Amino acid sequence: MKTSIYLIFLFILSFSASAQRDSLERGRLRVGFQTSVVPVTDVSATDSVRLQWYIAPQLSYTHSTGLGIVLRTYLLSNKLAAGSFLTTISPNFEKDNSVLYTELSYSHFFYRAHTTVTYSPIKNELYGNIRLKQMLLQPLLTLNAGWGKDSSGAGVSDINVLAGITHEFNVTTGKNSNLSLLPAIILNAATNRYFSLLQGSPYISHSKNYNALVHGRNKTNRGNQGNSNNTNATDASPAFGLSQLETNLYCYYSIGKCTLEPDASIYFPLHTGGTVAGYFQLTANFHF
């Protein structure tokens, strides 16, 4: 926890120094929301896991150098008055030009205790994404790692590596509107030790059948109930290996100062016992 705070503090210092060196450069402030589903558990029933929509209001700032920060808080759609079950803070860097798209971010997850959302010991995330844009079929590579501690204080971690190809279609739809479409085929390799909200494994974080995919003891945990009985580390670290074949469609639509980013995937398991799964997420922003 202290390490995460130090990292955030260092990022803010470097961001401030960069902004002061070139006061003519302007940044972008955005407000918006993200929505998708997350598995929740009815603690009064046995194995009663269902998917529940969440809405996550967000505030972000991006400097013209590419440095930025995102603050997001997550609320279950059926329990808005109960407050958020999770808040994330994410310093990041993003650059997009005619040759290369790059993205790098660190996120810290502040979970609230005593919620019905599935427990995760993963509290930190590193995410990196790169795409070469000058080829007809553009290769992409994503590296994603998460780590934290279980209730006994033992260290835990998970790793995702994604590699695939995509092609970007850009369409001008009006005087002040544009549409980008990126269909992709992606191969996912992972450890899949724990349930988590890591960006590289939405087939776990947005599935009610996550128990069939994760290997840790926390797979049986019935929500963030503040109960340490089921939050210990795994008996043995599962081997890193191929997990899913993903077909993805990412869209970016801008009109005036507003942007919409729907993102949908179908996952085909590369191991026995798995089932085909779907995923959808929508992000909307207003740019000041």
The token pair that represents 5 in the structure block: 């705070």
What does the mean pLDDT of the chain come to? 85
pLDDT interval class at 114 (50, 70, 90): confident
pTM score = 0.84
pLDDT interval class at 235 (50, 70, 90): very low
| Alpha-carbon dihedral angle through residues 187, 105, 253, 265, given to the nearest 10 degrees | 30
For residue 24, the SS3 value is coil
Residue 282 sits in a domain of what CATH number? 2.40.160.40
Please say if the pLDDT value at position 170 is more than 60: yes
Q: Tell me the pLDDT tens digit for each residue of 94-113.
A: 999 999 999 999 999 999 98
84 vs 99: CA distance, rounded Å? 40
- Dihedrals phi, psi of 96, to nearest 5 degrees: -140, 120
- State the pLDDT at residue 199: 96
Domain count, the chain: 1
**Residues spanned by the domain of 223:** 2-287
Q: Which residue has the higher pLDDT, 274 or 139?
A: 139
Q: How far apart are the first and last CA of the chain?
A: 33
Q: Tell me the pLDDT tens digit for each residue of 4-35.
A: 444 544 554 454 445 444 433 578 899 999 99
Cα 262-263-268 angle, rounded to 5 deg: 155
- State the pLDDT at residue 117: 92
DSSP 128-186: EEEEE-SSSSEEEEEEEEEEEE-TTS-EEEEEEEEEEEE--EEEEEETTEEEEEEEEEE
C-alpha to C-alpha distances, 192 to 12, 86, 107, 108, 202, nearest whole angstrom: 32, 21, 19, 19, 11
Q: Tell me the pLDDT tens digit for each residue of 43-56.
A: 666 667 889 999 99
- State the pLDDT at residue 247: 98
Q: pLDDT > 70: what percent of the chain?
A: 81
